[in-house]
Amino acid sequence: EPEVTQTPSHQVTQMGQEVILRCVPISNHLYFYWYRQILGQKVEFLVSFYNNEISEKSEIFDDQFSVERPDGSNFTLKIRSTKLEDSAMYFCASSEESGSGNTIYFGEGSWLTVV
């Protein structure tokens, strides 16, 4: 069964450093997402991406964050100048179409620890 893959599975970074989290969505999917889960808290929507541009973003997704689809397969989340509170599990997800009936499939997550 096709799946969303994410790298790295775990990254430790110094506060103030830039981090890039990578994702390979399911190949025929057109919509891509990033979600965040701080330890012990609920999963939160960050951003959705379609046709090479952001289609929606949450208030969490400020200028510190950016997303990019650098080629035909990868989808990345860049976090600039990381802060301690950025420590969380970051989930990439994808769906076939925009219709909300379409299931959103999640990757296994990238655990980011900022020290």
Partner 1 sequence: AQTVTQSQPEMSVQEAETVTLSCTYDTSESDYYLFWYKQPPSRQMILVIRQEAYKQQNATENRFSVNFQKAAKSFSLKISDSQLGDAAMYFCAYRSAVGQGAQKLVFGQGTRLTINP
Q: Does 48 bind partner 1 (CB under 8 A)?
A: yes
Contact window for partner 1 (CB under 8 A) among 13-21, 53-61, 65-73, 74-82: 53-61
Q: Does 17 bind partner 1 (CB under 8 A)?
A: no
Angle at 76 between CA 101 and CA 54, to 5 degrees: 55
Question: What gap in Å lies between CA 10 and CA 27, rounded to an integer?
Answer: 24
Residue 40 neighbours by CB distance under 10 Å = 5
Contact window for partner 1 (CB under 8 A) among 13-21, 22-30, 41-49, 64-72: 41-49
Amino acid identity, position 73:
S
Contact 110, 90 (CB under 8 A): yes
In 3-state terms, what secondary structure has residue 85?
helix
| Contact residue for partner 1 among 17, 55, 73, 81 (CB under 8 A) | 55
Q: Which residues bind partner 1 (CB under 8 A)?
A: 31, 33, 35, 41-45, 48, 55-56, 58, 89, 91, 93, 98-101, 103-109, 111
